[in-house]
Each structure stands twice: as structure tokens, then as C-alpha cells.
Chain A
Amino acid sequence: MADPQEPIIRFDHASFGFPGLIALDDISLTIHDGEFVGVIGPNGSGKTTLCRAVLGLLAPIEGHLHIFDCACDELRCHHRAMIGYLPQKGVVDRNFPVTVLETVLMGRYGALGLFKRPGRKDHDIALEALDQVGMAAHKDGALGQLSGGQQQRVFIARALAQQPKVLILDEPTTGLDITTQHNVIELVQHLHAELKITILLITHDINMIRSKVDRFVLLKTRLFAAGPPSEVLKPDILQQVYGKDLVITEKDLVIVEDYHHHH
């Protein structure tokens, strides 16, 4: 295990978007190995852009982004295969005719490279990943026949099959019922603790993860705050980003009023 203080993702005055439409502006942020980071901010604040950038799906228009402190600025440097990703629900066709095991095996394809077929070892890794998310019994089932929470577990298993050092989850609880939401968050917390994976979790539900994360990253095009929950979840800081939509109850619950479900 590497030194927990080792920086593995480093934004260096990085901006993303198109000229005239900046999604993220002048971000400087370092994420260390083994951290559990919650990425929060209003809709359209650049949370998903931040993830896509780390995944190498888009290049900075200014500044630099270093992954695993690799010196190169190449978008699809081989290091990126070590980043697992759970896309926002609704991005994937969940009725696609594919079995659970076939889905998870796809997590191996990037690491395998072209011209190589998944072998015994890849099957074992995929089965282990399914076991870690508690879905091993469903391996031959159809993805489309599973419940929303079960599908989410399968997609997390696919990300784990990449044997990632970093796991990025984009709104993993959206569209799930409350019990399932908690189960998914507990699973993520378990993976973080057991497998020592660095977690980047995007969410609008601040209260659900406030007791789990090491740090919050608060975004609204610019980086407004990055620090432990006690430092970030302060009325004066949150107010800058959420404005009058923010309500903090007596029990210290943070409620953002204008959140609309777009999924």
C-alpha cells in the first residue's frame, strides 16, 4: 500500500469546457491516495465535468491535470485504466441484452488491450468483483431483469473488475429508494475501507455522506471549498454556492431547496 499522503490526482490551474462556455474554471485541487471525497455543488456546477476530466474523456483547455502524478498530459494515458467509473443512471441502456457476468467482464477489456480475449484470470477477477458487491448469485441473470439497486451493484462490480485505484461514482443513489440508497453508500464505504480504493463520489445528498467522507469538494464552476465536512458545511461557505436555496435546520441538516430531479 502506498503512502496515504501520496497525491494521485492533481488539478493545476485547470479549466474545462469550450471557449465561451467554461464548465470548470481555474481548478487547483489535489486528491490523495486512499481519500474518500464527496463532490458537491448545485446542478450544472461542473461536478460531472470534473469526473469526465479525471477519466480522460476531456482535456483541460488551460492548465494541467496529472493522474497518478504521471508527467504526461495525454488524455488516454494507460494510467487511466486504473480509474473505475459508475456513470450517472440513465446514461446506460439498462435493458441491453447482456448477462450480469458479461457486464462485469467488460471492466477487464480496457486492461486486456486489443487482440486479447478474457481468460480464466479475468473471469476470476469478475466473479470476485461480483462477490464484493454481493451479486455473485446473479451472475448468469439478465441485467435488465434486476432492480435498480442491484443494477447499481453490478455496475460497481464492473468498475471493480478494472482493479482500480480510484473509483468515481456519479450520483450513485439517484432514483433509488431510501433503503437502497443507504445500502449503496454502505457498500461504497466498505469498498473504501476494505480495498483501500480512493473514492470520488458526486452527490446532491450532502447529509447522506457527510459522516462518511474525509473531505468535501464544493464546486460551482470554480472551486469554492475543499476540506473536511466540519470546515466545508458552514452556512457562510455553502451560502456562496447555493444562495437563498440553502436551508440549514436546527439539527444541522443541510437542505438545498431547489434541487430538482432531472433523471
Chain B
Amino acid sequence: MLDLLAYDFMQRSLLAAAMVGGLCSIIGVFVVLRGLAFVGAGSSHAAFAGVALGYLLGWPPLLLAIVFGLATVWITGWMEEQGRMKLDVSIGILYTATMALGILFIGLMKSYNAEVYGYLFGSVLSVTPDELHTIGALSILVLGLIVVFSKELYFIAFDQEMAEASGVPARQVYFLLLTLVALTVVVSLKTVGAILVFAMILIPASTAYQLTHSLRTLTLYSAMIGISTSVAGVLISALWDIPSGPAIVLLSTGIFFISIFVSPKRVKTASTAHVH
């Protein structure tokens, strides 16, 4: 295993996995608490359509992924605000429509393009130095915004109307959160792929949710679980020669199920039930 770590590609993939794992798991806290799980899935498929269009037109794929991802979450947020449509319905429609666009763009390509499929299924072991820089820059941007607006983000995740009534610009913060979700998805596309990024966002936060009652601790646990499962997943993937995306996701899913069984919330609920 130490031999593996000597390779540049291996160092790059571990770094990329750690950044993506950390980012996804931290934004995931707000996604899980605010009930935006489906939005994460929708924006990842939209971002993939952007990547496919990028390859089709010869434009930068990540740039178009950002455009598609942002457009999807903003339209969803706007429709929800107008009260015309429930969030799950509008995202369900956009989710499948953008996936259809992605398939259409791939179909329009004259030759088979393996790189596009890399964005669908993820290929962290082939991350280039340039891509690593992009991932790093976007991660710093998203994490920086989360840190700066953390108290507002927690408040709207808890109770958006209350936040607004207390004088927090809740609407703007909500759109900021949607934007951060879309950016996180784009950052993660290359590493875990459009299909599995959803799990990277949801699982660490849901696991941490089982283990604590405190918001701060929840975020800390989620980040620790996200980073460690991503790094471990990449190592397993390289050692056993299996795809990295599934290795990361299945590993964190396993930990999630363990957390359900050892959850102190279950224990506490059981003991208070005895007292009363």
C-alpha cells in the first residue's frame, strides 16, 4: 500500500477524494436538515447534461455543468416560492428532463466518448492536476461561504419562517444554499460521478444525525465520516482494483447502517420510555 502512495496519480486522487468527501458531507448537513435531498439528485443530473453538452460543443464541460446545475436549483427554488408547485414535483420533472438532455447530447456525439462516462460514474483515479486545482478552488469557495453564513444557514434549515421573522434575510440565504448545493455537485462530478454524488451528500450527514443532538457536533461528525470514507474508498479501490465511486458509497452506506444500530438516540429514547 505504501508503494501506491508514492505515485502522483494516487496522491492526487486521495487529495481530491478528501476535498470532495469533506465538502459533500458539510453541505449535506444543510441538505438533510432543510429537506433538500431530492434537489441534490436533480442538480447532479442537470450538471451531467451540462458536461455532455460541453463535450458535444467542445466547450469547457465544468463551466456548462455549473450553468445547468445552477439553473435547475434556481428554477426549483423559484417555483417553490411562487407556491405553484411542490418542490418534489418540480425537481422530479427537471431531473428527468435534464437527464434526457444528457442522453440526447451523448447520442448526438459522433464517436464514443469515455470521458463523458467518467462524469457519470466517477473516476477519481484519473483526476488530472488541472482538475485538482479546479476542485480545490471551488471547494475553498463553497466552504468559505458556508463558514461565513453558517449561522443563517443553520437557522433557515431549522425554521425558515422563524428566521425571516427574526430579521434574517432568509430568502436570500435559501438561494445561497441552493447555489452551494449545485456548486458542490459540480465539484464532485469527476470524482464520484453524477449518479453517486447524491449519496456522498446524504450519507455522512444522515449517519452523523444518528449520533448527536448538537448542530455543531453533527457538522463535525459528518465531515469526519465524509473525509474518512472517501479516502478509505479510494485506497480500497486502488488496492482491489474496483471502481472508486461505488467503493466510497458502499463503504459509507455500511457505516450508516452501523450508526443506526449504535445510535444513542435509540438508546436514550428507550431509557426515557422506562422512566415514564
Contacts and interface: CB of A to CB of B under 8 A. Distances in A.
Interface string A106-125: 11011110110110000000
A99 interface: yes
A78 interface: yes
A98 B162 contact: no
B159 interface: yes
A216 interface: no
B168 A110 contact: yes
B215 A97 contact: yes
Given A111-B167, A145-B272, A87 B213 contact: no
A96 B158 CA distance: 7
Main secondary structure, interface of B, reads helix
A185 to B, nearest CB: 22
Contacts of B152: 109, 114
A81 B159 contact: no
B150 to A, nearest CB: 9
Contacts of B163: 106, 109-110
Contact of B155 (A78, A109, A111, A144): A109
B166 interface: yes
Contacts of B168: 109-110
A57 B213 contact: no
Contacts of B148: 115
Given A97-B209, A117-B151, A107 B166 contact: yes
A226 B155 CA distance: 36
A98 B165 contact: no
30 contacts: A55-B165, A57-B161, A57-B164, A81-B166, A85-B165, A87-B161, A92-B159, A93-B159, A97-B212, A97-B213, A98-B213, A98-B214, A98-B215, A99-B213, A103-B158, A106-B158, A106-B162, A106-B163, A106-B166, A107-B166, A109-B152, A110-B168, A111-B166, A111-B167, A114-B152, A114-B169, A115-B148, A118-B151, A142-B213, A162-B166
**Shortest beta-carbon contacts, A-B, top 7:** A142-B213, A110-B167, A110-B166, A81-B167, A55-B165, A85-B165, A99-B214
Given A96-B33, A112-B151, 7 more contacts: A76-B164, A85-B165, A97-B33, A109-B152, A109-B166, A110-B168, A141-B213
